[in-house]
Structure formats: C-alpha cells, structure tokens
Structure 1
C-alpha cells in the first residue's frame, strides 16, 4: 500500500511538473509555496520566490494594464470567502519583462480548520487573443468596406444623377437664351453656375472612385494601377519603383496598405497641387517599406494633424497601427511631402520612431 501511495504521489507530482499550464500554490498569507516547471520558466526558480507574495512575482494587471494591488487581488477573495473562482482573464509579467494575456483559475483547498491553500492555474491565451483581435479587425474592415460601397451607391443613384440632370437643364437653358441680347448677363451667370456644377460632378466622381474600393489583385499591381489612373485623371506624373519579391502578405494587411496608399494619393490629388509623385516599395526580409514623395506645396505637419475636421493624416496612421505598422510624414511649406509606411510580419520589430526621411526635393518636371 505504501508503494501504491508513493507511486500515486510521484504521478501527481509529474502531472503538475509536466503540465503546459503554469501552476502556483499559495498559503493563507498568499505567499508562494510551490511553482511547477512552466511557472518557474515564466517567473523564475522556486528558491528565489519561496514565501514571496504572489503579486510581487506574477505582477497581475487588468487587461487595460492597471496593476492589481493586494487589496484587489482575487486570491484575497478566494481566501476570505472560502470559494473558488474560474476563468478570470488578466495580464501577467514574465521574468524577461514580457507581458502576456492569461486565463487564471483559483481553487480553494481546505487543509485544516485554520489552514488552507490556493491553487492558481494560469493558461497563456496570447495566441487566442491575437486571433480574436484579428477577427475583430477583419470584421470591422468588412463592415467599413460594405458601408463605403453602400454610400457610394447612394451618392451615385441620387446626388450624382441630380447634379448631372441640373447641369443638362442649365446647358439647354443657356442654349435657348444665347441669341437674346437682353439675356447676356443671365447667360454669363448660367455659365458660371454650369462650371461649378461640372467641377462638383468631377469631384464627386473622384470621391465615388475612392469609396468604391476593391482589392481584386495583389498589392503591387494595385499600386501601379491606382498610380496610372491618377496620372490619367489628373496629369500628375507618377513613378513607381519596386524592390520587392512579390511574396504575398496576409489579405487584411494588403487591403489596409492598399487603402493607405490610395488615401495618400487622394490627399495629394486634392490638396498638394503636385505635378510629380514618386513611389518606392521595398521589402527587406520581413519588413515592407513604402515611401511616397510629391513636389507639391507642402504643409506644416503639426497644424494639419491638429486641424479640426482634418481626418486624412489620422486615418492613415490609424490604418497603419491596425496592422502593427508605423506611418510618418515630413513636409514643409513649398517643399512637398514625404510619407513612409513600415510594417513587419512581426509587429514588435517595427521601430517606434521611423528613421529620418530623405528630404531632397523632387524636380517639378521630368
């Protein structure tokens, strides 16, 4: 019988030691009395932490990053209420400084009338969190694109058609009055109104093109296509240089990058008064860099970012952040602008501050 109990004891010890989850046992003072192999790998060897307060070892935080002090520790709740708690999600900090998402269960284990233990079971759910975040991003992107398409259809079927009809009627009215001397002033006014409507229709069509976004090819071909269309519609010279192996990126990343490039080119078309744009696309190992330069009138970056109602710069940087990248822009009045976008297959490898951008001005002509 003794051998049986010894065998069972060894089995349970090995079960905890070989478990992929981290197990920590606390006494009634919430000090650590045991850590299994996974817990020691995460937080350090048991000899270094024996009889240490668990909060000083695990560094529990809420998912928003707020430290959980001893007065808000769930271990205190388990001890004081003599109850167990399951599946509480929070953040913990490993010995190497990495913070991970975990699901923690607290099991209340009575030992005697005046003694107890708490078994903490910690499971790393970082991968699941990342998958969930990616799912939410993809869902948000899908809903956003669907809403853009709906708005574009509504504008095309109502506003665009009404403007086209009004323009046609004005032109017919001018034609009917052109031989009436007394109507010269009226004709001049009608001509001015017609020109305004023509410009509005052109601008609306450009906006509908931007809204009706669809990535039905790879990123490089899309950028080349949108650059060619910008040249055809505006006369702006667009040069595209690619130093990239054409290895496809995840679809959601390519969609966001395509929208970022399109939004930058739209801002150039609307505001820059540029005659030339140069796009450089470069991939080095797991980093992709896109640099877009124009020879337009430039702007003061801080003023543009803080200007009320100016969503372009913020939108571009937010899109880049959603795919774990960084975006930076440099510009001065009269010296054009340079955008640089950097993303990585491993977002932690993207620098928080991008290197200084080459500010050598572009020529105004080829």
Structure 2
C-alpha cells in the first residue's frame, strides 16, 4: 500500500464508520436503543476502530515515511559520493598524472646523475599517492550491499568491481565468505588485488587471468594468476615497476605473507595469512 493510500484510509475510515453506524442506528436500532445509549456508543465504536485499524495504518504510515526518508538520505549520500569521486578524478587524479609525466621526463634527463635516486623516490611517492587516489575513487563509486550482514558479500562485490574496471575477462572464485576482515584489512587487500590486476593489464600480455581466494582451518590466501610473458629478473629491483614493491610493503605492514612466482607463461601473486 502506498503512502498516499494509507493517508486517505486514515482520513476515510473514521468518517465511513460513523456514517455507517448512524445509518444502522436510525434505520434499524431506534426501537431497541435509546438516544443517550446511541450517543455513548458512537465514540466507543470510533475508539475501537482507531485502536484496531487506525493504529495499524499509523504504523504502516510511519514505516513508509521512514523508508522514504532512508531512501532520500541514501540517494543524497550516493550523489555526494559520486560528486566527490568526480572532483577527485577531474582534479587531483589528473594533476597527479601530469606530475607523473613530468617526473618521468625529469628522471630520463637526470639519469646517471647524482639526483637520479631523488627522482626515483619522488616517482615512487607520486605513484603511491596516485594509487591511494584511485582506490578512494573506486571506494566512493562503490554502492554498498544492503544485506543485513554484508561484510563478506560487500568484499566480494568490490573485488568484482575491481575486476570489471581493470581486467574484465578475469575469472573470479571467491571462497572467503567465512573469513572476517577489519575495515583496514579490507582496504589493504582490495588495494593489493587492484595493483596486481593493473600490473597484469599493463605488462603481462595475458589471455587468461584468474583471481582465486580460499581458506581452511590454518590460513586464508588470495591468488592472482595469469598466463602472460612473466617477469624477467627480480621484480623488486626493476626500474619504473613500483606496483609490486608497494603491494609487498602493504602486505608486510598488515602482517601478511607476500609470494610471487613468475616464469614465461605463468605468474602467480599470492597474499596469505596464517589463522590463529
């Protein structure tokens, strides 16, 4: 029943009840019911109708009003999140991209000089900030799940959103619904998965990508696998490849284990944690 229908019923039910009672009283009950008794019975009947029917309608009206207010508040919050995401993308994100281009140009011009290491540190910082901004934009554009206990479902949905934004053809197998993550753990885990998928898209030349999460009584783990060209040499020492280093640092800061196995035709990045 709609909000408008409930209001009309609250208005009409007492009127129809009194009118129907007065008609029955004057047409059929006059020989059996005195005028004073009928006058006393009228408010009693209205009270009984109010207690039974109108109280239920009022509860329905309050529920409908609360739902409308919640929907309005959710819409306002989503509009504010989307506006903030657009501002971050159009302002800070583009400025960071321009700064990244300029630092890359400066790095090439200063290669072999005493300032090369300083430029590398600046490039690393710019890359980290750009990663955080992309993550913030993704989180702002993500619509939370309305489930009663949405933690695990929301985390899986965010992983699906990351895959759609980075490597849409990737396959996802997510079996961490029974593992509880804190808010910070969720943010860091999503950032690691996003960075791994971005590396696959930029460098792997892969035709098959898989994101697999599993757990047992002793540990949980998340794997990002691809069949690309692999990584030549130590990926932690390669120039201009800060993503894996940052991912490893994130995992270590959270007390997780970071593993990377790469060869031509197969690369797997694993983040795992022993369960206490």
TM range (shorter): 0.3 to 0.5
TM-score normalised by length of structure 2: 0.46
Which of the pair is proportionally richer in strand?
1
Larger relative contact order (Cα-Cα within 8 Å, sequence gap ≥ 6):
2
